[in-house]
Chain A
Amino acid sequence: MIEINQLSKVFRTEEVETKALNNVSLTIKEGEFVTVMGPSGSGKSTLLNIIGLLDSASAGSYNLLGNEMVGLKERGRAKIRKQQIGFVFQNFNLIDELSVYDNIELPMVYNGVAASERAKRVEEMAERLGISHRLKHYPQQLSGGQQQRVAVARALINEPKIILADEPTGNLDSKNGNEVMELLTDLHANGATILMVTHSDYDASFSQKTILMKDGMILSEKQQNKNIDIVVNS
């Protein structure tokens, strides 16, 4: 589903040049639940953003669902984002001016789903995530856990091929964090492909595969408690 080959990302500012990703190669199959771990600044978010087409690579190739993504124009990237990818962020990134209902509905609006169909799907999704009674509320009126559930609902509403979650539990207490993790596990059980960044070993234990990053490189891939060492060529 996702094939990344020798991908690099360089940030250039006036003074410094940061190599956020250094020749990363990675494959994620359909239905996999993968976590990315590593110290701060190791390039996790950068990797996720490139996979999510919010950022573009400096070199290398990125193949998503059989299509090359490197060099794609913004218009095409927006199209793939809205059809294939769902995002969950550490800080939720809900639109404060819109109600919970409107937030969840938004991706469908951009996908041109009919209004009646949208209403039905929002109701269903809210039911599933236990936020039905909050639909009329605004994000600022919800707790962090509730907000993250709304964010998950929004990420799922279009039934994307892949869900990208950047520290989804980072801003939550352990109870709410657990709830979100159970949600993701559920989704995975139902066949969703998930790529999640986390700092928590506990959260990582929910996944099938953990990728460990450092200094923009992948140090190791750990499959269900089994270690597979990766040859590091520096």
Chain B
Amino acid sequence: MLRNWVHIFFYNIKNSKFFTLLNLIGLSIGITGLVFAILYWNDEHSYNAWNSQKEKVFEVINGMNENTEWHTSVAPLGPEIINSTDKVASYCYLNDWYFSENVYYNDKKELVENILNAQASFFEYFPFEFVEGNSETALGDNTIAISETTAKRLFGNEKALNKIVRYSGNDMVVKGVYRILGKSSIRPDMVTNKIEQSLKNNADSWGNYNFGLLIKLNDPKDKESVIKTIDDIYYRKKIVPVSKELGLSPEEFIEKYGEFYVKLQALKDVRLGSIDSGLPEGQGNPQFLIIMLGLSILILVLSIVNYVNLATANAIKRAKEVGVRKIIGASKGNIICQFLFETAILSVFAIALAMVLVELVLPYYNDFLKKELVIQGGLIYSQLITIFILLVVIAGIFPGIYVANFETLKVLRGNFGRSKSGVWLRNGMLIMQFAIAAFFIVGSYIVYEQVKFMSEKDLGFNGDQVVEIRLRRINTKVFDRYTTVKNELLKIDGVKEVSTGVFGFGEGARSTSGFDYKDQSIQGQNMGVDYGLLEMLDVPVIEGRDISPDFASDTISSMLVNETVVRMMKEPEPIGKEIKWNGTNLKIIGVVKDFNLFGLTEEIPPMVFFHIKTISWMQSNLDKVYVKIDADKMEQTLADIETFWNKDVDIEYAFEYEFINKKYARTYEEYVDQRNLFSILNIVVISIALFGLFALASYSIERRMKEIAIRKTLGASTKDLLVTLSKQYLVFCIIGFLMTIFPVYYLLSTWLDNFVFRISISVLPFIIGFIVLALLTLIVVLGRAYKATRVDVLTYLKYE
């Protein structure tokens, strides 16, 4: 029987090579998309999966008020938690960012990018495998643990244990070498223990949120009760004393400033969880993951629909074969099996082709996701087998059942070729294809519009020809060093202006501070700047004046605020008002026009500007110089700056600079990528859908040839016939399009909700989408129909 089936299969393929090929390509593309989505999915879900502690370890996130959550905690909290409950086994403080510094071994200098500063218990939270030394003794005063890779870089093939390296001016002993076992929310190249000293210094400070904090619960189920314990601690240790200081009752304090609260997120959820995490490897993008998965499933569905449609349409041609089989005793089940078998063969080819496509496209996909996905491991193969089974069942069972239910007699009597049976199924699927295609066309147009909007948006500052140069600190007199550098830079030909600020575009200020004005409390971005920065960036001061070297007070007690601050202050006359800012009295001398400091997904924050020298600790945040360069001399000037820099400013580290426009564009880079992806998928989807339409129109027109001949006999003109033949497809197109309006509107609105600065969805994408879809439909259908009207009438009138 199998041989018979195989024979029939290849016979049919030979008879419709073109459609079989397109079917195969369509299915392969669909599978390729799904494999990509699954690879991405697997990768994101593999984060911390290796970590035996992932259920018990929780990241502590602090809610300061309704709108502000910090990933950092105060130093006394950990010990206080241990005192207050026995449900928490331990805590571990760490910096939730990496240092990137040079490490020296003898004459060797290596820039180690990801240096983590953590308490010794870190390796209980992230139980990396130790290849040298052990996790208990690795961290202590002046000892470090390093990754296998770092060990290799520093020591080659020599043993690393007990080697002494120089780091940050100190001699450090390597007491452990570890191997990271898989994707991890923290993957340090080196771990130090310097945090202990700062913890000691802050042991009683309930106001300095400087440290990342992980806690380990004995039983993850106790999460809620631990949250309650920590909330209580905040009440006792923060609200009660602070409110007393302010002369308020705790209730009044809460009324006015809101409550401090805590959120706990288990390590296993950190990567894709809904709570913002501060862990240095960052979080995945669950929304994008879902989009990818959703879209790839849509595309696969589309190609399956094509397959089913063609198979059922083709089945009519094969009705005779099936009829004969039934008469000689084939059961329904037997016939369905035959179809499943045929689908299985095609699926094997499709999957094989898909894997080739995946291999070819994977490098680009990795570029796009900034990942290093590979096809390996049992998981992806078992998923492929699942896809295969689903494909065979879904794509094979419809045509199988459909054909098995043919009425044998009707079939053999012969006029089955024009039977209407199965038409509703095919038309329904066609409408669905139209809907999916319309979704993609309209959706990608909206995405395109939003990205265009972002790239053209007036950001409120002008970063043309302004570069940001990284200035590493070598001692505490950062501002003096900056001033020297500035004066030298200004001597270079092509350098027009030099200034600095303790913030980054798209990143925000290095620190924020809360201050009160009358009844309002405002958490402002601390925009410490040097003279001339606002001017350099074309940010206008709309009221009052900018800080200036002409006023001695401008480095002592002057501040500017942006419009957002003024709005929050509810003060019509902000100039001249005094504000108590972290214990210093500052007077508002000007109002700065709002500009986008963060990406367009975020509101313009309240910003407070003052000269860096005004606040003594502000200069410790100074880590860059802004330089405006003459556009005509850009290349030469940059080269000159680099030479100067490497010779006179920083001989240890490489010269690093970036254009601030480019840096800002990075805030929406991911959406540019999404737009590009969407456009590519758009082409894929439209091609698959049009192919389906073409195939179905071909079958349908073929079946209607006699009708066409009769109409021609009655005197129908070519135009009449084209209308008759294409009308229904246009109707399907319209129905499909209408079906898609609401889902597109809803889903794209949700997507646009990512942005504070966004377009509103207009009718334009819908009009354009409809025109494109209708035009493509007409081209395909009319092309096919026109061919049909050219045929010789008599051929079809003669034969029944």
| Contact of A78 with B707 in the complex, beta carbons under 8 Å | no
Q: Which chain A residues numbered 58 to 83 have a C-beta less than 8 Å away from chain B? A: 74-75, 78-83
- A170 to B: closest C-beta gap in Å: 12
Interface presence of A89 (CB below 8 A): yes
Which residues of B lie under 8 Å from residue A78 when comparing CB positions? 712, 715-717
Return B789 CB to nearest CB of chain A, in Å. 9
Q: Report yes or no: A83 in contact with B794, Cβ–Cβ below 8 A.
A: no
Q: Would you give the shortest CB distance from B110 to chain A, in whole angstroms?
A: 79
Partner among A55, A80, A106, A111 whose Cβ is within 8 Å of the Cβ of B794 = A55
CB closest residue in chain B, given A89 = B797
Contacts known (A55-B794, A97-B420); A110 close to B715, Cβ less than 8 A: yes
Q: Hey, which chain A residues are within 8 Å of B797, CB to CB?
A: 54, 89, 93
Complex interface: chain A residues within 8 A of B793 (CB): 54
**Residue ID in chain B nearest A87 by CB atoms:** B713
Q: Which residues on A sit within 8 Å (CB–CB) of B715?
A: 78-83, 85, 107, 110-111
Task: Tell me the chain B residues, 707-752 only, with Cβ under 8 Å from chain A.
Answer: 707, 709-718, 720
Q: Assess whether A113 is interfacial by the CB under 8 Å rule.
A: no
Q: What per-residue 1/0 map shows which CB atoms of A87-118 lie under 8 Å from chain B?
A: 10101011111000000001100110000000
CB of A82 within 8 A of CB of B714, answer yes
Asked if A5 lies at the interface with its beta carbon under 8 angstroms from chain B, I say no
A95 to B797 Cα, complex, angstroms: 11
Task: Give chain A nearest CB distance to B798 CB in angstroms.
Answer: 8
Given A49-B794, A91-B800, A54 and B418 contact (CB-CB distance below 8 Å): no
B706 — nearest CB in chain A belongs to which residue?
A93
How many inter-chain contacts with C-beta < 8 Å in the A-B complex?
55
**Complex interface: chain A residues within 8 A of B713 (CB):** 52, 54, 81, 87, 93
Q: B710 to A95, Cβ gap below 8 A?
A: yes
Partner of B714, one of A55, A80, A96, A110: A110
Alpha-carbon gap, A182 to B92, bound state (A): 106
Chain A interface size range: 20 to 34
- Measured in the bound complex, the distance between the Cα atoms of B717 and A75 in whole Å is 7
Interface centre among A83, A106, A111 (most CB of B within 10 A): A106
Complex Cα distance, B714 from A116, in Å, reads: 20
Main secondary structure of the interface of B (DSSP, over half): helix
Also in contact, A107 and B794, with CB within 8 A (given A91-B800, A97-B420, A97-B707) = no
Complex interface: chain B residues within 8 A of A154 (CB): 714
Q: Are A95 and B716 in contact (CB under 8 A)?
A: no
Closest chain-B Cβ to A220's Cβ sits at a distance in Å of 27
Q: Which residue of A lies closest to B423 (CB)?
A: A97
With beta carbons under 8 angstroms apart, the residue of B709, B714, B718 that contacts A106 is B714
Chain B residues near A93: list those with CB within 8 A: 706, 709-710, 713, 797
Which A residues are in CB contact (< 8 Å) with B710? 93-95
* Chain B residues, CB < 8 A from A96: 418, 707
The CA-CA distance from A83 to B717 in the complex, in Å, is 12
User: Which of the listed residues B418, B715, B800 has the most CB atoms from chain A within 10 Å of its own CB?
Assistant: B715
Chain B residue contacts of A89, Cβ below 8 A? 797
How many angstroms between the C-alpha atoms of A103 and B420 in the bound complex? 18
A81 and chain B: residue at smallest CB distance = B715
Contacts of A82 in B (CB 8 A): 714-716
A98 and chain B: residue at smallest CB distance:
B707
Alpha-carbon distance between A74 and B718 when the two chains are bound, in angstroms: 9
Task: Return chain A residues, CB-CB under 8 Å to B720.
Answer: 110
Minimum CB–CB distance from B407 to chain A (whole Å) comes to 14
CA distance A55 to B711 in the complex (A): 15
The chain B residue with its CB closest to the CB of A52 is: B713
Residue of A nearest to B792 (CB): A55
Known contacts A54-B793, A87-B713, A111-B715; 9 additional CB pairs below 8 A are A54-B713, A78-B712, A78-B716, A79-B717, A80-B715, A82-B716, A83-B715, A93-B709, A97-B707
**Listed A/B pairs (23) with beta-carbon separation below 8 Å:** A52-B713, A54-B793, A55-B794, A74-B718, A75-B717, A78-B716, A78-B717, A79-B715, A81-B715, A82-B716, A85-B715, A91-B800, A93-B709, A93-B710, A95-B711, A96-B707, A97-B420, A106-B711, A106-B714, A107-B714, A110-B711, A110-B715, A111-B715
